[in-house]
C-alpha cells in the first residue's frame, strides 16, 4: 500500500523524544502549500504544530503514568519501566528517566499496595495538556518545586502556581532564572536549612601547572561570595558580539585575561556606568537621517540602520568640514546620553529591560524610545537600557517599546504573539527592591545623590513598602 503524501502519522519528535499521532492538519511533503505561504502564516502554522506536540506529550505522559502504576514492565520481563521505554521507544536511559519523572509528577499514580498518590504538579499538567507550556518548562518547574521539599504544602503549591503562570511567557532558561531570583525569595526567603556542620573557612582552592613554553593550566574552586565577585568582573568582557566565532570557554579565557590586564595596569576596576571605547566615523546629519536602513554608508562598512542604532548611545562630535573633508571647526564632544542621566537610567532599569533578559547594566546601551535623530528627548522618560542583542532586535524588527510610569513595556510582533500582549522584564526586580530601600538613611542617600549628579529636572523619590507585583515594581522616575 502506497503511503499518501503526508508526514507519517506516527512521528518520532526528537525535540520531545516522543511518538505522537496527529488528528489532521499536517502539511503535505510534496504539495505546494508551504512555498505559497507567507512568513507570518508559516510562523502561525509552526506555533499551532508546537501546541499539538505539547498536547501529544501530555497524552504520552498519561499513558506512561498508567503503565508504570500497574507494573507492566515487570509483567513483560523488564526490570523497570525505564528499561521497557529504552527498548520500545529507542531512546536513551536518561530520556526514559525524564519522561517517567514527568509522568509521576503530573499524574496521580498507585503504589503496589493500591494506594493512590496524588500528582505533585497538577497545574503544570493542565497547562501542558492545553499546549501552553512545553517539555522544557515542565522540567524546570519539576526541578524547582522538587527543591522546596522542606516547605509546607501550601507554599509549594504557591510556588508551582507562580511558575506555571510565568512559564507561558518565558523560555526554560529564563523561567529557571525567574524561579531562583524571584519565586524562591517569595516562598522560601530563609533558604534551605543549613547543614549542622558549616565550614570554618571559605572553600577556595587554586591548582596550577606551568608548562615549559610558559603556558599555564589551572583548576580550582571558589566559595559563593568570591564566585559572585569573579563572575561580576568577567561579565563585561565575555559578552558575545555579532559574528563572534569564539566558543564559551574561549570567551571566558579572553575575559579573564582582560581582567588580569586591567588589574595590572591600574587599581581601578572598569566603570559600570562610564564612557565607552571611542570609534569615530564621519557622516553628515542629512545622510544619517535620510538613508534607507539597509544601505551601506559611503566610506564605511555600516548600514544606515546600524549607524542610527549606534547614535542612540554614542559620542557625538559636531564638526564643520571643508570641501576636501578637512575639519574647519570642531565643537566640544558630547555624549548623546550624558553621564548623570545614564546613572539615573541604571538606577531605574538595573539592566537590560527586554523581557526575560538578565544582562547587567554594565553591558547595556541607552536606547531612545523615540529616536534621537527624530527629535526624541534625551531624558529618562524617553530612555531604556537594552543589551546589544536586544538593542539590535528592537531596531531591526517590529517589537515596539513604550514607557509607562517608568516601566518599559515591549509589545511583540503578531507572529510572536497574535494578541500582541505587552510584556516587561522581571529579572531585575529583586535587585531594584534591595537597592531602593524605604528607610530614612536610604532616602537621605538618594537625595544626596540627586543633588550630586542628577539634573534639576530628574526627581528621585523613595518608594513605599513594595509588594511582589508584575505591574508596579520599584522605580526611579
Q: What is the pLDDT of residues 207-232, one digit of tens each?
A: 999 888 778 999 999 888 888 888 88
- Cell digits of residue 431: 535587585
pLDDT per residue of the chain (477 residues) written in tens, 0 to 9: 443 333 433 334 444 433 343 444 444 444 457 888 899 999 999 999 999 999 999 999 999 999 999 889 888 888 889 989 988 899 999 999 999 999 999 999 888 777 888 999 999 999 999 999 999 999 999 999 999 989 999 999 999 999 999 998 899 999 999 999 899 999 988 877 766 555 466 788 999 998 887 789 999 998 888 888 888 888 888 877 666 777 888 888 888 887 887 676 553 444 434 444 444 556 666 665 555 555 555 555 566 566 656 656 555 555 555 555 555 445 545 556 888 888 889 899 999 999 988 888 877 888 999 887 777 888 889 999 998 888 888 888 889 999 999 899 999 988 888 899 999 998 887 554 544 443 444 444 444 444 443 333 333 333 333 333 344 444 433
Contact 167, 161 (CB under 8 A): no
CA–CA separation, 418 and 78 (whole Å): 47
- Which residue's C-alpha cell is 536602513? 293
Closest to 297 (Cα-Cα) out of 281, 316, 317, 279: 281
Q: Where do we find the cell 562610564?
A: 274
CA-based nearest residue to 186, from 149, 148, 228? 148
Rg (CA), the chain: 28
Give the closest residue to 95 by CA, choosing from 17, 19, 20, 173: 17
β-strands 109-110, 116-117 pairing: antiparallel
Mean pLDDT of the chain: 75
pLDDT in tens, 360-390: 887 788 899 988 777 788 888 999 999 888 8
| 10: its cell numbers | 506516527
Give the cell for residue 474: 520599584
DSSP β-bridge partners for residue 321: 327
Rounded CA separation 356/428 (Å) = 9
- Cα torsion angle, 77, 80, 83, 85, sign: positive
Give the residue among 424, 414, 422, 423 at the shortest CA–CA distance from 47: 414
pTM for the structure as a whole: 0.56
Amino acid at each position: 500500500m502506497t503511503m499518501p503524501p503526508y508526514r507519517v502519522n506516527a512521528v518520532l519528535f526528537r525535540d520531545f523524544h516522543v511518538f505522537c499521532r496527529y488528528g489532521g492538519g499536517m502539511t503535505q511533503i510534496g504539495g505546494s502549500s508551504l512555498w505559497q505561504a507567507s512568513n507570518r502564516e508559516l510562523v502561525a502554522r509552526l506555533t499551532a504544530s508546537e501546541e499539538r506536540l505539547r498536547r501529544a506529550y501530555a497524552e504520552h505522559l498519561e499513558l506512561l503514568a498508567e503503565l508504570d502504576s500497574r507494573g507492566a514492565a515487570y509483567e513483560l520481563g523488564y526490570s523497570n519501566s525505564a528499561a521497557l521505554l529504552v527498548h520500545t521507544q529507542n531512546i536513551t536511559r536518561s530520556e526514559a528517566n525524564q519522561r517517567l519523572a514527568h509522568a509521576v509528577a503530573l499524574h496521580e499514580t498507585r503504589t503496589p499496595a493500591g494506594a493512590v498518590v496524588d500528582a505533585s504538579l497538577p497545574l503544570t499538567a493542565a497547562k501542558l495538556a492545553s499546549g501552553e507550556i512545553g517539555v522544557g518548562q515542565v522540567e524546570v518547574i519539576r526541578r524547582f518545586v522538587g527543591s522546596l521539599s522542606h516547605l509546607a504544602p501550601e507554599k509549594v503549591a504557591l510556588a508551582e502556581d507562580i511558575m506555571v503562570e510565568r512559564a507561558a511567557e518565558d523560555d526554560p532558561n529564563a523561567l529557571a532564572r525567574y524561579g531562583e531570583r524571584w519565586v524562591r525569595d517569595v516562598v522560601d526567603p530563609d533558604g534551605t536549612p543549613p547543614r549542622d556542620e558549616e565550614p570554618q573557612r571559605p572553600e577556595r582552592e587554586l591548582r596550577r601547572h606551568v608548562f615549559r613554553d610558559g603556558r599555564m593550566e589551572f583548576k580550582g574552586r571558589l566559595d559563593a561570595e568570591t564566585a559572585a565577585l569573579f563572575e561580576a568582573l568577567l561579565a563585561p568582557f565575555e559578552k558575545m558580539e555579532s559574528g563572534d566565532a569564539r566558543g564559551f570557554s574561549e570567551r571566558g579565557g579572553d575575559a579573564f585575561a582582560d581582567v588580569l590586564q586591567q588589574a595590572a595596569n591600574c587599581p581601578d576596576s572598569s566603570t559600570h556606568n562610564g564612557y565607552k571605547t571611542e570609534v569615530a566615523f564621519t557622516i553628515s546629519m542629512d545622510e544619517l537621517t535620510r538613508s534607507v536602513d539597509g544601505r551601506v554608508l559611503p566610506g564605511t562598512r555600516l548600514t544606515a540602520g546600524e549607524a542610527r542604532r549606534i547614535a542612540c548611545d554614542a559620542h557625538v562630535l559636531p564638526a564643520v568640514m571643508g570641501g576636501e573633508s578637512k575639519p574647519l571647526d570642531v565643537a566640544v564632544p558630547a555624549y548623546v546620553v550624558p553621564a548623570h542621566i545614564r546613572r539615573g537610567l541604571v538606577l531605574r532599569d538595573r539592566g537590560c529591560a527586554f523581557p526575560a533578559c538578565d544582562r547587567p547594566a554594565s553591558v547595556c546601551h541607552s536606547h531612545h524610545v523615540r529616536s534621537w535623530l527624530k527629535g526624541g528627548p534625551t531624558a529618562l522618560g524617553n530612555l531604556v537600557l537594552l543589551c546589544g542583542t536586544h538593542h539590535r532586535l528592537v531596531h531591526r524588527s517590529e517589537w515596539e517599546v513604550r514607557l509607562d510610569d517608568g516601566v518599559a513595556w515591549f509589545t511583540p510582533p503578531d507572529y510572536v504573539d497574535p494578541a500582541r500582549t505587552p510584556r516587561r522584564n522581571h529579572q531585575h526586580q529583586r535587585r531594584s527592591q534591595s537597592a531602593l530601600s524605604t528607610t530614612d538613611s536610604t532616602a537621605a542617600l538618594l537625595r544626596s545623590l540627586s543633588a550630586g549628579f542628577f539634573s534639576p529636572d530628574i526627581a528621585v523619590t523613595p518608594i513605599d513598602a513594595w509588594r511582589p507585583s508584575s505591574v508596579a515594581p520599584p522605580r526611579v522616575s
